Amino acid sequence: MRRTLVLIIVLMVVFCSAKSQSIALKSNILYDVTSTINLGLEIGLAPKWTLELPVNYNPWNFSDTEKIKHWLVQPEARYWFCEKFNGHFMGLHALVGGYNVGGINMFGLKDHRYEGNMYGGGVSYGYQWILNNHWSIEATVGVGYVYLEHGKYPCKKCETKLDNFTKNWFGPTKAGVSIIYVIK
Mean pLDDT over each residue of the chain, to the nearest integer: 86
Residue 61 DSSP symbol: B
Predicted pLDDT of residue 61: 80
Range of the domain at 134: 2-183
Q: Is the per-residue pLDDT at 111 higher than 90?
A: no
Phi, psi of 7 (to 5 degrees): -60, -45
- Compute the CA torsion angle 22, 92, 2, 63 (nearest 10 deg): 110
Higher pLDDT, 57 or 66: 57
Q: Cα 11 vs. chain centroid, distance in angstroms? A: 17
- Compute the CA torsion angle 100, 101, 103, 104 (nearest 10 deg): 160
pLDDT above 90 covers a percentage of the chain that reads 62
Q: Is the per-residue pLDDT at 67 higher than 90?
A: no
pTM: 0.82
Farthest-apart Cα atoms in the chain, separation? 55
Q: Tell me how many domains the chain contains.
A: 1
Q: Residues for the chain: how many in total?
A: 184
At 6-34, the pLDDT tens digits run: 556 555 555 554 444 589 999 999 999 98
Q: How far apart are CA 56 and CA 69, in angstroms?
A: 11
CATH number of the domain that residue 100 is part of: 2.40.160
The span from the first CA to the last CA of the chain, in angstroms, equals 31
Predicted pLDDT of residue 19: 46
Q: Are 115 and 103 in contact (CB under 8 A)?
A: no
